[in-house]
Structure 1
Amino acid sequence: MVLASLVSIILRIAELAFATIVAGINGYYLHLVENASSWSQGRFIYTEVVAGIAIFFALIWLIPFSGSFTHWPVDFLISVTWFVAFGLLVNYLDGSCGSVFNWSNVSFRGDQCGKWKAIIAFSFLSAICWLASSIVGILYVRDRDTRAYRRRTGGWGRGGYV
């Protein structure tokens, strides 16, 4: 259980850092194109909203208590939203900056392709971290329920009634 708590805290810190990076770079891009149509910038607005929600929940659930493991369905849902954001951004680039997983020119400053790659890379990494958090939560809840069942029934296979 201590290991699960430690892994959970590490994942929450990574989720917070990745979402902050995506929100910062993406928010700067949205600031530069503030006069553009909202419809044409929909995928970036969506990504910014997902990053904001992820920052909020990562901050709230960074506080270590065992109840945070029961939120694994929300972790899974946020993971799905990050994967959708990743797909929307990859679809937007459509190979114009090279291969999606060639992250050699990822940068926070410099050329626009490097910034796009940074947003895509950290969106993907955030999705993986949220998915890992949901898996840790599932395993923790399953283990806790299994131990409670064993205490209640006196072991496996016996119903406790004679």
Structure 2
Amino acid sequence: MILADLFSIILRLAELAFAAIVAGLTGVYLDANKGASSWSLGRHIYTVVVAGLSIIFAIIWLFPFSGSFIHWPADFFISVMWFVAFGLLVDWLDGACGNVFDWDGININDRNTCTELKANIAFAFLSAIVWLVSAILGIYWVRRHTRTHRSTVPAGTPYRRRRWYRSRV
């Protein structure tokens, strides 16, 4: 199980890094468009909120406890929120900078708005994928953990799940 814990830590660090990058890039865009109405910046505000929540939860769940695997429903929900942010950003760009996935002619040191917008979209997608993988790992861990517990019941005995409020004594 140490391998799953290590993989979980790597995923949480990637979630934290990707969310921080998206928050930074989106924050720069929001700062550059201060005078615009909040209605026209709604997609970006949503993206910053999702990035902020992701940063908070990634930091909290970064610690390697076996209990961190039971958060897979929240991981899946955050993944869905990232996919929504990705879709909103792609729809907002609407081909203004060419194809969203066309990375030809983009320079890293170039101060280009299209480069920043495409990088923001790419890291939002990567964050959605990493949160989804984290949820899948959590489902795998929980299923494997419950299977090993059920396998300790003698054959022929009907399995009865113990209530959480009953003591183990």
Normalised to the residue count of structure 1, the TM-score between the two structures is 0.92
Deviation at 1:107, TM superposition (A): 4.4
| Residue 101 (str. 1) matches residue 98 (str. 2) | no
Which structure: greater helix fraction? Answer: 1
Partner of 2:63: 63
Partner of 1:46: 46
Q: CA RMSD in A?
A: 1.4
Letter in 2 for 1:44: H
Query: Is the deviation greater in 70-79 or in 28-37?
Result: 28-37
Rounded to whole Å, the distance in 2 between the matches of 1:17 and 1:112 is 21
Deviation at 1:96, TM superposition (A): 1.4
Conserved? CA contact 1:97–1:113, under 8 Å? yes
Conserved? CA contact 1:108–1:115, under 8 Å? no
Letter in 1 for 2:96: S
Deviation at 1:25, TM superposition (A): 0.8
- Summarize the Cα distance change of 1:114–1:128 in structure 2 as closer, same or farther, 3 Å threshold: same
Question: Counterparts of 1:1-162 in structure 2 under 5 Å?
Answer: 1-104=1-104, 105=106, 107=108, 110-151=111-152, 153-154=153-154, 158-160=155-157
After TM superposition, the runs of 4+ consecutive aligned structure 1 residues lying more than 4 A away are: 106-109
Query: Is the deviation greater in 30-39 or in 46-55?
Result: 30-39
Conserved? CA contact 1:18–1:126, under 8 Å? yes
Conserved? CA contact 1:12–1:62, under 8 Å? yes
Rounded to whole Å, the distance in 2 between the matches of 1:18 and 1:108 is 19
Deviation at 1:103, TM superposition (A): 3.2
Give identity over the alignment, percent. Answer: 59
Mark the runs of 5 or more structure 2 residues left unpaired by the alignment: 159-169
The DSSP-based 3-state class of the residue aligned with 1:35 is coil
Query: Is the deviation greater in 93-102 or in 128-137?
Result: 93-102
Deviation at 1:110, TM superposition (A): 1.1
Conserved? CA contact 1:108–1:114, under 8 Å? no
Deviation at 1:109, TM superposition (A): 5.4
Number of positions where the alignment pairs a residue of Structure 1 with one of Structure 2 = 157
The DSSP-based 3-state class of the residue aligned with 2:96 is coil
- Summarize the Cα distance change of 1:109–1:130 in structure 2 as closer, same or farther, 3 Å threshold: farther
Conserved? CA contact 1:107–1:118, under 8 Å? no
The DSSP-based 3-state class of the residue aligned with 1:115 is helix
Rounded to whole Å, the distance in 1 between the matches of 2:61 and 2:12 is 7
Rounded to whole Å, the distance in 1 between the matches of 2:109 and 2:92 is 19
Mark the runs of 5 or more structure 1 residues left unpaired by the alignment: none
Normalised to the residue count of structure 2, the TM-score between the two structures is 0.89
